[in-house]
Amino acid sequence: MKKINNKETIIIVTIYLLITIILITRNAILYTNLVNPLFWFCILVYLLWKIKKDYIRLKENRKFSLYMLIISFIYLAIYFYMGFILDFSKSPYSHSIGSTIQNVIIQIIPIIGIETARCIISIRNRSNKLVLVYIAIILALIEIKYNILLDLLSDKEKLFQYICEIVIPTLSHSSLFTYLASKGAWKSSLLYRTFSKLVILLFPILPNTNWFLNGAMSIISQVIICLLFKYRFLKNKTEIKNRKENITSKIVYTITIVICITLVSFVMGLFKYEPIAIASNSMYPSFIRGDVVIFKKLNESELDKIPEGSIIVYSVSNQNVAHRVVKIIEKENKVLYQTKGDSNNVPDMLLVETSQIKGVYVLCLKYIGYPSVWLYDYFKNN
């Protein structure tokens, strides 16, 4: 068992996660405006005192810190450029002197405290992967607003949006910054986060972006940071280690490419099974808006042998519909299907011909079709 350094800090942060969950769900204003900045200020003072006391000199990759600052500039430039495409809206933050100082204290001090704690713990436990994973998860969980999660439990659509926009990027950036800190780029996360947040706090107008764009931009920027660090600053390894890494990288890249090609082929309908996103609640409770239904394609001999009670996917006016077969009608040597949504009171007016049928329902994947549905709604309404 490897020795764990900074045990007391890790224990304090873990306990604080439990306090955060309890307090933020009971009194979010008190937590946000007082408890959270005060706690991280105390942690910051304690850690800086301990570094000075123990005469610890943290190794720093200054060049990468500069690159990180440049990346934050580029990220913000793209972010504000989106405003010219999607329009701008008034900032939710007040910009009076008193309010600005208050916002900086509330927003920036916790970031500085979190990143300082991450840096010191990571660099002192750089060889202990278990500790690195643990601290990345704990620090990410501390930043999630559990009061918002609880409020959104009754609205699955908004809950999904919050997870994509906030929760997943938070877990992602916590993992990335913990990794960077363990490799010596300990100031990079601090520069990136404080600079980006300060700009957003101080600007009177902000781009009117949506949840999908915010989440995607955050994830993409983190991927760019990771790739830049890996290929620009970790390439001076020993030849043997490089060979091992190259072999591992090739395997990972090959698997990734295969998975990507498979997913793209699957979505494009090149396999026997194909997915569609559900845009309405007509089939509740079998599946609902935002779910993805996977259906099996049928050959010509199977199209007129679909049993009653089956859920079929068919095309009407260039739109895919998934409804249940409630009656089979034979007319003029043709098989026609009468369909009905499970939550609808009456059957569909139009009968379904075999030429319209794309396949038979096989499986439902919950909620992952929301991005496709929202994009469809966006382009339909604009």
Residue 238's pLDDT band (cuts 50, 70, 90): very low
Q: Is the pLDDT of residue 273 over 50?
A: yes
Residue 380's pLDDT band (cuts 50, 70, 90): low
- Cα gap 320→293, rounded to integer Å: 11
Q: What is the pLDDT of residue 80?
A: 81
Q: What is the CA radius of gyration of the chain?
A: 27
- Cα gap 37→312, rounded to integer Å: 55
Q: What is the pLDDT of residue 334?
A: 86
Q: Which of 5-9, 182-186, 264-268, 362-366 has the lowest mean pLDDT?
A: 264-268
Residue 267 exposed, middle or buried by CB count within 10 Å (0-12, 13-18, 19+): middle
Highest mean pLDDT, choosing among 113-127, 225-239, 366-380:
113-127
For residue 25, count other CB atoms closer than 10 A to its CB: 16
What mean pLDDT is predicted for residues 293-319?
86
Q: Which of 204, 201, 205, 200 is nearest to 218 (CA)?
A: 200
pLDDT tens string 91-136: 888 888 888 899 999 999 999 999 988 988 888 888 888 889 999 9
Mean pLDDT of the chain: 80
Residue bearing the bigger pLDDT, 77 or 312: 312
CA 72 vs CA 6, 114, 158, 192: distances in Å? 30, 19, 28, 6
What mean pLDDT is predicted for residues 326-335?
87
Please state whether beta strands 205-207 and 88-90 pair in parallel, antiparallel, or not at all (unpaired): antiparallel
Three-class secondary structure of residue 57 per DSSP: coil
Residues 370, 373, 375: CA angle, nearest 5 degrees: 105
What mean pLDDT is predicted for residues 146-172?
86
- Cα gap 313→91, rounded to integer Å: 45
Q: What is the pLDDT of residue 87?
A: 65
Residue 191's pLDDT band (cuts 50, 70, 90): confident
Residue bearing the bigger pLDDT, 138 or 259: 138
pLDDT tens string 241-261: 555 555 555 566 566 666 666
Q: pTM for the full model?
A: 0.62
pLDDT tens string 63-79: 677 777 777 888 888 78
Q: What is the pLDDT of residue 235?
A: 54
Three-class secondary structure of residue 209 per DSSP: coil
Q: Is the pLDDT of residue 57 over 50?
A: no
What mean pLDDT is predicted for residues 327-353?
90
Residue bearing the bigger pLDDT, 71 or 354: 354
- Cα gap 38→227, rounded to integer Å: 35
Q: What percent of the chain has pLDDT over 90?
A: 20
Q: What is the pLDDT of residue 378?
A: 63
Residue 324's pLDDT band (cuts 50, 70, 90): very high
Structure tokens at 158: 């908004």
Residues in the chain: 382
Q: What is the pLDDT of residue 186?
A: 67
- Cα gap 149→162, rounded to integer Å: 8
CA 380 vs CA 82, 157, 162, 348, 365: distances in Å? 21, 19, 23, 23, 24
CA 228 vs CA 164, 353, 366: distances in Å? 24, 55, 35
What mean pLDDT is predicted for residues 7-28?
88
What mean pLDDT is predicted for residues 140-169?
86
Q: Is the pLDDT of residue 339 over 70?
A: yes
Q: What is the pLDDT of residue 110?
A: 93
- Cα gap 263→152, rounded to integer Å: 30
- Cα gap 134→322, rounded to integer Å: 44
Q: What is the pLDDT of residue 70?
A: 79
